[in-house]
A = this chain, B = another copy of it.
Amino acid sequence: MDGCKRLSASHPPPDTTQTMGHDHDYDCSFVTDVVTEGRVSTAEDVLDAHAKDEGPHEAHRPDVVVWPDSTREIAALLAEANDRTVPVTPWSGGTSIEGNPIPVAGGIVLNTSEFDEITVRHDDLQAVVGPGVVYDDLNAALASHNLRFAPGIAAGDIATIGGMIANNASGLNAVRYGVTGDHVLRLEVVLPDGRIIECGRDVPKSTAGYNLKDLFVGSEGTLGVITEATLSLEGIAQHRHAALVTFPSSVAASQAVSTIMASGLTPGALEFMDTQLVELLNDYNDDADFPAAPLLLIELHGNSGDLSTQMDRVRTICEDHDAIEWSEADTDDIETIWRARRDAYPAACEYYADQTVGVIGDVVVPISRYPDIVSRIETISDELELLTPCVGHAGDGNIHFLPVVDTDDPAAMDRVQELTDAIVSEALELGGTATGEHGIGIGKRKFMRQEHGDAVDVMSGIKDAIDPRGIMNPGKTLPNDD
């Protein structure tokens, strides 16, 4: 794999309908009765492109890829597939890490890229969007309204709203603005048997009945296909003020995070990088000359030019936690501060010419346990003789670990898997979760029972109630122990 290069399989549909001549797992010839010519493909390169996301997981090629262009078409397709017990795996931007949208047993991949409409309801602070809308495109469309869809994901140039909802994606700005699910007010969903339902309403709050909306958010396409969403939006803060602070230890940095979060300040971003990553940054960028020590990046958002007062308060907190170096920048030159964060992943990737990031790990622990997980990652990496720089959304207790290895060396990749298993188990023992942003997909099914215990049986019961034939994205999310 090339962990630094991103490919999207969400291209427009091919020009010609392909014949279904190849060996297949399921007879999917019925799809051409439902989805119009030109939006169905069995071309080898198309099947290949939909058999791989950005993670290391091996999957099974689909038998066919379809690009439906209406909710009714999806409803008809699912009803037919359900009758025939043919698996259907929804596909969005393909930027996932855990194999979330790639089939494990063939069948149909349902690419939602045709659903790319955006309707902005400015006075309601809402947008109604299709699942195929790209995150950055949505925010570009919202900019003229001075509004924003705020979770702040890393792959925003490719990832789509459908995938973000299905995986409850988030990133840099979730610490202030919440994760994707916090911004979803309503979903139109096609159920596995072809029924179309609405989950939630176009209002800021409701207490009317069971919360189906948040059941479908994060369900990774295993319960139905999302065909439309109403999102709540934020006004864009007029002022930003950022600081980069170095600490003598990750414990000191983590404690500063707790204190900042408890202070009543609401940072727009609060990021951590460990010493290893800082050293890689110094290697990567000739202009970078950070002390070899953990750092925090803190950004404040506001509307009345008062941010320097608030930032002074952050600085005092950091100094109380023995901060070594402090630099700051405001709205206009804020990128000078954020360059360090932007360079984190490429710096890790390009550490050696023949090595790259084996996996992007993703766990969350309670904020107070952040120093513990950082130090445990260090110990486990040392034991496995891996270089594992870390970067994370510290304000959320979220940490990404980036083991740098030769990804073509199976023995090295085995150690990466061992590392991941050990770190996830450690996070769970610290009261954390196996995944803060990337979801369960294929890769983390084995931790579901450890994390959730008997609650997994309730999840399975819900899956059976909604998708009794198990056609929706089989082999994902729920554990493989039952």
Contacts and interface: CB of A to CB of B under 8 A. Distances in A.
A305 B208 CA distance: 39
A262 B122 contact: yes
Contacts of A264: 146, 234-238, 303
A121 interface: yes
Which interface residue of A145, A208, A456, A478 has the most chain B CB atoms within 10 A? A208
Contact of A366 (B203, B261, B310, B452): B203
Given A123-B258, A440-B207, A464 B462 contact: no
Interface string A138-153: 0000000111000000
Nearest to A234: B264
A124 B212 contact: no
Contacts of A170: 205
Which interface residue of A196, A211, A238, A258 has the most chain B CB atoms within 10 A? A211
A82 interface: no
B198 A207 contact: no
A219 B209 CA distance: 7
Nearest to A260: B235
Contact of A215 (B191, B210, B440): B210
B303 A265 contact: yes
Given A124-B367, A310-B303, A461-B465, A210 B203 contact: no
B477 A206 contact: no
A208 B447 contact: yes
Contact of A462 (B146, B305, B447, B462): B462
Interface stretch (A103-111, A273-281, A338-346, A427-435): A427-435
B204 A477 contact: no
Contacts of A437: 205, 207
A79 interface: no
A398 interface: yes
A456 B235 contact: no
A438 to B, nearest CB: 7
Which interface residue of A170, A203, A367, A444 has the most chain B CB atoms within 10 A? A203
A456 B209 CA distance: 8
A208 B451 contact: yes
Given A123-B262, A204-B367, A368-B123, A209 B452 contact: yes
Given A201-B451, A236-B264, A265-B303, A208 B125 contact: no
A125 B215 contact: no
A81 to B, nearest CB: 19
Nearest to A461: B465
Which interface residue of A168, A195, A215 has the most chain B CB atoms within 10 A? A215
Given A202-B431, A264-B235, A477 B440 contact: no
A93 to B, nearest CB: 16
Interface string A223-265: 0000000000011111000000000000000010010011111
B212 A433 contact: no
Interface string A468-482: 000000000110000
Contacts of A169: 207
A477 B210 contact: yes
A121 B303 contact: no
Interface in A160-215: 167-170, 174-175, 178-179, 181-182, 191, 195-199, 201-212, 214-215
A454 interface: yes
Contacts of A364: 201, 203-206
Nearest first, the 6 closest Cβ-Cβ pairs linking A and B are A235-B264, A306-B306, A123-B368, A206-B433, A214-B214, A304-B309
Given A168-B207, A205-B397, 8 more contacts: A126-B366, A146-B264, A195-B457, A205-B396, A211-B218, A265-B303, A305-B309, A306-B306
15 contacts: A125-B367, A174-B205, A198-B455, A201-B431, A204-B367, A206-B436, A207-B436, A209-B459, A210-B462, A212-B459, A234-B264, A235-B261, A235-B265, A302-B306, A306-B310
